[in-house]
A = this chain, B = another copy of it.
Amino acid sequence: MTVKQLSLPELVDACRDLGVPGVGLWREPVQSYGVEAAAKLVRDAGLAVTTLCRGGFLTAIDPAERAAALADNRRAVDEAATLGTDTLVLVSGGLPAGSRDLRGARERIADALAELGPYAEEHGVRLAIEPLHPMFASDRCVVSTLAQALDLAERFPARQVGVTVDTYHVWWDDTAPEQIARAGTQDRIHTFQLADWTTPLPEGVLNGRGQIGDGSIDMREWQGYVEAAGYTGPIEVELFNDELWARDGREVLAETARRFTENVRP
């Protein structure tokens, strides 16, 4: 998503040229290209698929909407398995229209995980609940903190449900380091993502994630927390940024790889 202006073949080429060993893919471009074809493309290039983004949106009250969401998440699990990644990132969903009940929405996520967890496990895929920054609590993700994500995940085996740690969403939270330790003890850190916090936020606040090194987040500090918690998996960079998307994709990928090297310990 960081370089969504690149087609999948362009992305795979650019990763190979830059020595980027793995890539987190999003469902929409994979579906457009064809899931099997995308799987072959990355496999032939020797590129690992670190995660698939994203499942989730599990907060609907309406039974038909809810059934559709569950079916879509099963398809996402299938796609992850086909792509050869063991991790499906979940963005839980916001409040249904007219609802003010955050607690109820969070419980419906738990109910959905009880159905999706075993299905995912059968396909060798782990679900990774991603707490999103509290500014998304109403319209995108009622799970706002690692503590909330772990409270949900802990109801299920770690091989079914864990969490995504994304610096952009948790950097402000002084309880996040201890929650990362809690997640590590349970082997529930399923992926670790980087984006920097920059202001002013753009209208709608979705597409203002800063390039690594441009903002307020000390990436090495957060790398230290997940590593101390036992995490040894890939570190992803996920930037939603209109300005980066307007630039040449290969140039942005090269810049991102450089910033990664400058701001992350080897």
Is A174 part of the contact surface with B, judged by Cβ < 8 Å?
yes
Known: A95-B216, A100-B217, A217-B100. A135 touches B174 (CB 8 A): no
Spot the interface stretch: A18-26, A28-36, A198-206. Answer: A198-206
Instruction: Give this chain's copy count.
Output: 2
Contact, CB under 8 Å: A138 / B197 = yes
Known: A133-B135, A216-B138. A102 touches B172 (CB 8 A): yes
Chain A interface mostly helix, strand, loop or mixed? loop
Q: Cα distance A101–B147 when bound, in Å?
A: 22
6 nearest CB pairs, A to B: A137-B172, A135-B135, A203-B203, A134-B172, A138-B216, A200-B204
A144-180 to B contact mask, C-beta < 8 Å, 1/0: 1101100000000000000000000001111100000
Q: Cα distance A153–B221 when bound, in Å?
A: 27
Contacts of A106 in B (CB 8 A): 174
User: Which of A99, A138, A204 has the most chain B CB atoms inside 10 A of its CB?
Assistant: A138
Known: A103-B174, A200-B205. 19 other contacts (CB 8 A): A99-B216, A100-B216, A101-B218, A102-B171, A133-B134, A134-B134, A134-B172, A135-B201, A137-B216, A138-B172, A138-B197, A138-B199, A144-B172, A144-B173, A145-B174, A199-B204, A200-B204, A203-B203, A205-B205
